[in-house]
């Protein structure tokens, strides 16, 4: 990944915009029931790290407390999904589709390389990419080990 590539993006109506530097060159998919209900399919995100994100138009961000440990942010004007945030770590996962294509294209080694809650993935779709696949139990164990 090119060093210090700042990714910029916005919601559909441009009421909320964001700027961040991703943690690495990975895109991941979450297949959990909540993410699929929220996004209408698997949620494809980039890890934007701990507090490593700047928003403008914050007054337009609404928060849904989806669990004891995480929340989901969306634009109150147009409904665009803005982030999934692990509350304790203040770690942001941002849908990769929010970012401007011209900036994402600068990440020449950007790679879809992992899927989580793979046991909840419905049978009507599959990705062709070879990825690391983790169950929900493995994901929770990983988060426990990092706290």
Predicted confidence (pLDDT) per residue in 108-132, tens digit = 688 999 999 999 999 999 999 999 9
Instruction: State residue 31's pLDDT score.
Output: 98
Q: Could you report the per-residue pLDDT of 131-142, keeping only the tens digit for each?
A: 999 999 998 888
Percent of the chain whose predicted confidence (pLDDT) is above 90: 74
Q: Which domains does the chain have, with CATH numbers?
A: 7-146 (2.170.150.70)
Question: Residue 29 pairs with which residues in a beta bridge?
Answer: 44, 115
Torsion of CA 118, 121, 123, 129, to 10 degrees: -60
Separation CA 80–CA 98 (nearest Å)? 9
For residues 49 and 33, give the distance between their C-alpha atoms in angstroms, rounded to a whole number. 24
Both tokens of residue 131?
A: 């990825």
CA dist 115 and 47 (Å) reads 13
């Amino acid at each position: 990944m090119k060093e210090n590539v700042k990714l910029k993006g916005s919601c559909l109506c441009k009421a909320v915009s964001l700027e961040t530097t991703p943690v690495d060159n990975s895109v991941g998919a979450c297949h959990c029931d909540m993410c699929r209900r929220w996004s209408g399919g698997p949620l494809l995100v980039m890890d934007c790290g701990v507090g490593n994100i700047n928003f403008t138009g914050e007054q337009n961000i609404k928060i849904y407390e989806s669990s004891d440990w995480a929340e989901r942010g969306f634009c109150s004007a147009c409904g665009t999904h803005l982030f999934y945030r692990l509350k304790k770590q203040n770690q942001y996962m941002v849908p990769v589709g929010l970012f401007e294509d011209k900036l994402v294209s600068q990440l020449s080694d950007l790679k879809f390389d992992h899927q989580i809650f793979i046991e909840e993935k419905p049978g009507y779709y599959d990705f062709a990419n070879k990825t690391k696949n983790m169950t929900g139990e493995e994901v929770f164990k990983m988060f426990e080990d990092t706290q």
